[in-house]
Structures are given as structure tokens and as C-alpha cells.
Chain A
Amino acid sequence: MLQTNLNHINSEDEFKQIIENNENVMICCGRMGPMCLPVYDAMESLEDKYENVKFYDMDFDTPHAHVIRNHELARKFMGLPFTFYFKNGQAVHATTSIQTKKQVKSNLDEYLT
């Protein structure tokens, strides 16, 4: 279990329901490591400003995280965390490795408006 203040995704069913029932979803799939923590922090600090987006994290080492780990957009990813942006159930953008708050904001503005 990730120790963040974000909502966690704990099963594949939950993942499917979340991306199908919400127009805009951002999911950060990682561990509690130095490359992942800044992304969780950035998401936590942006939750209030982006009320149209649902923010979640997912533990990279859980079996259900295969939905992110093995996603087509993550095929070449070699750095944690894997961060995904979903719109109307479809992954519209994904990033690998550490991202700044500015980069996260920019992606939210570009892909989840």
C-alpha cells in the first residue's frame, strides 16, 4: 500500500470502474521511491485546483498494476513512476520517470481539459 494522501486503486475492477465512470482521470503508478514521491506530492497539491480530474495512485508491485505496467503506451518505459492520463476511459497520454509539478500541470491542461 502506498503511503500517500491520494486515493489508491486496489483492484483491476476498481481501475476499470474509475476510468469508465469519470471523464478525466490521472493515475500515478509507482513505489515509495525518490522519483515517485515528487509526482504524488504534485498530484496532492493539484487536487483542489483541478476539480474536473480524479487523482489516483497505484502500487507498481501489485498484480493489478499490470493494467498500467503492460499498457501499450508504457511499452518502452524504463523509469518509475508510470503516470497516465485517461479521458473518457482512454489513455490519452503517459509519462515515465520523475515529473515536476509544472510538467504535471502542463499535461493536465493539455490532455484533460
Chain B
Amino acid sequence: MKAIHYDAIILGAGAAGLSAAIYLSRAKLKTLLINEGSIGGQMVLTHAVANYPGVHETSGRDISLIMKKQAKEFGADIESNVEITKLDLSGKEKLVEIDDDEIFTSDVVILATGGKPRKLGIPSETKFKGFGISYCATCDGDFYAGKDIVVVGGGNSALEEAVSLTKLVKSITIVHQFDNFQAHEYAIEQAKKNDKISFIMESEITEILGEELVTAVKVQNQKTGKEQLINTDGIFIYIGYIPNTDKFKDVIKLNNRNEILTDENMKTNVDGIFAAGDVREKKFRQITTAVSDGTIAALNAIEYIQTNKK
């Protein structure tokens, strides 16, 4: 199998990866964007983006489609919905194999693989996906009209989606593992003043019960160990994201949350490897910060390629 060589390969086509592709391809570098999921990454999960500077209001999907179009028009190649079957980042020339049948090499790799929703880690979670477990209120809220549901989590997503679901459901019990919320004050206030919402703090779901559909959950208090049974028709899970770093965790330096460590130029511990977006260690995860990361990574990658070609 003959490898096709690129100046730069970007892994991941969320806001960071797409931004990097735009900058690299516009700089006339031969650029390949490889994505295992759908174009846009977590950005497409956001229905209404109202705080992207210069854009009055749009959806995450629309932003991602425009970014993809820009990257393609500047000359980037895109391989989407593929599986990365081999990855060798250790040498001077980097190698990526996809779907066991195409090999690409490059001088530079930008890791922009983002994150995936964290799961409860309970065996029955997979069984009940689509049968009482949901990760998207706007997608599946209709199915729970007039029903009692549980929302798991204490961040912005959990509280905002819970408030939004109160328009449809009969009642919501928010189960959160800590004694305080991580959400912004406004989201907490909105949830607390809603009569349909009650709270079980410092607790975790230990078991999901039901035959074909979810009928109840067991919730355990983390301090006392005491368990209680809550009858419910559904569970909406918003407990954050985990970084997609499994494929390169042995080569790239990660922190204890498995996020990539970079310097301010988005450089990793490996020469020629940069990281951008939610996959790297940082405090704020927004579309705008991912765009910034992708831009910085691309500009430094351009400099790296030009320096090493001399």
C-alpha cells in the first residue's frame, strides 16, 4: 500500500480541527483533515449559538458547514466518518492509516480529536439507550411529555436542559454527585425557582431498573451510602466529556484527566505534533476558544514546516 504524503494532517473536524484546516490550506500547505465522526464535532450539538462574535445567531451545525466549505475551498482534503486503524506519531514522518486500506504520512499532525460524552458507567446504560436513556433533550424531550424524569449532572448543560424539559415533562429530579453545582449562577437560579424540579445532591445513580423501558433508578448518597429508589420514565445524562486521547496516550503527554498537555503555541511533548481544542488541558471550552486553539496550532505548524524544509 503506497502512502500519500501531506504537509499536515489534522485529526478531528470540530471547531479546532476545521479552523486549523482553513489556516493550513490557505497557506497553500497540502492538508488532510481526518475525522472519525461527523463534521463539526460537539459544535453540532448546539442548536443556537448566540455568542459567536460577528454572527448574530446561528446553529453549531451551520457554523461547521461553513467552516468545512471554507477548508475545502482553500484546498484541504477531508476524510470523514472513517476509522483510524493505525497511528504512528513517534518518527519525524508521521503516519496515519484509515479503514485498514489507506495510508497517509505528514510532517506535522494536529490533534483536535475533542471529547465524547461521559457515561454513567453502569452496565444497563447501553441497553436502555433510546429506551429511557437520552443524551439530548431537544431530540428526545417529546417522548417524555407528561412523564417523570431524572436529569443527571450539575453543569450548565444539565441545568439548562432540565429547565427546558420542564415545558414538556411532569417532574424532574436532578441527581448530582457534588454538594454544589458547577453551572453558571443564572442557570442554577432558573432551575431552583422551577416548581417542577427537585434535587438530590451528593448522590449517584447505581442501578437502572426496567424490562424493555426504564422504570426506576437506584440512587446512592455518597456521604451516607444510603440508597433510595426513584420511579422514573427516563434519564437524561449530562455529566461532562472525556477527551479522545486513547489512540495516542502512550506517545503524547497527558494530564491525570487524560487531556493533552501543550505549551501556549499548542506544541505537545513530541516534535511536529500540536494539539488544539477540547482535547487539550484548558479551563474554558467554547467554540471560540477551540477556533483560537486551531488557529494558533496551524500558524505554529506552518512555521515548523517552513523551518524544517529549509
Contacts and interface: CB of A to CB of B under 8 A. Distances in A.
Contacts of B143: 77-79
Interface string B30-43: 00000001111000
Interface of B: 37-40, 44-45, 47, 61, 80-83, 129-136, 138-140, 143-144, 212-213, 234
Interface residues of A, number: 23
Contact of B213 (A42, A76, A101): A76
A36 interface: yes
A34 B83 contact: no
B80 A45 contact: yes
B134 A45 contact: no
25 contacts: A33-B47, A33-B139, A34-B44, A34-B139, A37-B40, A38-B37, A41-B37, A42-B81, A44-B81, A45-B82, A77-B130, A77-B131, A78-B130, A78-B131, A78-B144, A78-B234, A79-B133, A79-B134, A80-B136, A80-B139, A96-B129, A97-B129, A97-B130, A97-B134, A101-B81
Contacts of A79: 129-131, 133-134, 139-140, 143
A34 to B, nearest CB: 4
A31 B81 CA distance: 20
Contacts of A96: 129-131
Given A42-B81, A80-B140, A96-B130, A37 B135 contact: no
B81 A45 contact: yes
A38 B308 CA distance: 38
B37 A34 contact: no
B78 to A, nearest CB: 11
A54 B213 CA distance: 31
A98 B110 CA distance: 28
5 smallest beta-carbon distances between A and B, as pairs: A97-B130, A96-B130, A79-B130, A45-B81, A33-B139
A84 B136 CA distance: 21
Nearest to B138: A33
B140 A78 contact: yes
Interface of A: 31-38, 41-42, 44-45, 76-80, 95-98, 101-102
A77 B143 CA distance: 9
Secondary structure dominating the interface of A:
loop
B139 A36 contact: yes
Contact of A35 (B81, B140, B213): B140
Given A79-B140, A95-B130, A97-B129, A37 B61 contact: yes
Contacts of B129: 79, 96-98
Given A78-B131, A78-B144, A96-B130, A37 B44 contact: yes
A79 B133 CA distance: 8
A36 B135 CA distance: 12
A47 to B, nearest CB: 11
B128 to A, nearest CB: 9
Contacts of B134: 78-79, 97
Nearest to A33: B139
Nearest to A45: B81
Nearest to B128: A78
A33 B136 CA distance: 9
A109 to B, nearest CB: 15
